[in-house]
């Protein structure tokens, strides 16, 4: 992502609290993907894995400031009190959530591959200059 357009791939990324929520969710997905990638080669007690776990916990607390048990109950009761139109039984909403998760995972994978390609290009350039 470029500095001039940091949220180019995310529609409505700069729109109020929803945008902040989406950014935080995407950050958590990226951190989890990075942790999964590193955990293939590193042990769970490795400092990088521990740091990623701490960052993931911190981001998840920012997303949902209520404790785990109370958060879900509070959201469910608030949704039932407000007569929410959006229910998870709605197939369109479920498909949208599934698609959002898939796209987020694809974006994380793309960013990992893009970084890897950049590192490989740098290495290639350095090696060809040494010849």
DSSP character string of 63-106: H--S-HHHHHHHHHHHHHHHT-S--TT-HHHHHHHHHHHHHHHH
For 68, phi and psi rounded to 5 degrees?
Answer: -55, -50
Q: pLDDT value at position 116?
A: 94
- Segment 82-125, tens digit of pLDDT: 555 555 567 777 777 888 888 888 988 999 999 999 999 999 99
What does the DSSP 8-state code read for residue 13? Answer: T
Element (H, E) at 29: helix 16-39
Provide the pLDDT for residue 3. Answer: 44
pLDDT average, residue stretch 3-23: 58
Q: Which residue has the tokens 């048990």?
A: 69
CA distance 71 to 12: 26
- The answer to whether 39 and 117 are in contact (CB under 8 A) is no
Q: How far apart are CA 126 and CA 25, in angstroms?
A: 37
Q: Say how far apart CA 63 and CA 57 lie, in whole Å.
A: 10
pLDDT (tens digit per residue) in 38-71: 888 888 899 988 999 998 888 888 777 655 445 5
Nearest residue to 35 via CA among 94, 108, 92: 108
Against a cut of 0.75, is the pTM above it? no
Mean pLDDT along residues 70-79: 55
User: What is residue 129's predicted lDDT score, i.e. its pLDDT?
Assistant: 93
Per-domain residue ranges of the chain: 16-130
């Amino acid at each position: 992502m470029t500095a001039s357009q940091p949220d180019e791939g995310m529609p409505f990324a700069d729109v109020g609290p929803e945008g902040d929520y989406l950014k935080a969710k995407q950050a958590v997905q990226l951190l989890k993907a990075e942790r999964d990638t590193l955990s293939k080669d590193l042990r769970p007690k490795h400092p990088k894995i521990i740091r990623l776990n701490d960052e993931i916990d911190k981001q998840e607390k920012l997303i949902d400031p209520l404790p785990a048990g109370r958060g879900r109950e509070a959201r469910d009761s608030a949704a039932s009190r407000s007569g929410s139109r959006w229910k998870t039984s709605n197939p369109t909403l479920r498909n949208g959530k599934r698609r959002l998760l898939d796209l987020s995972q694809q974006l994380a994978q793309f960013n990992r591959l893009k970084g890897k390609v950049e590192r490989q290009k740098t290495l290639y350039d350095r090696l060809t200059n040494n010849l």
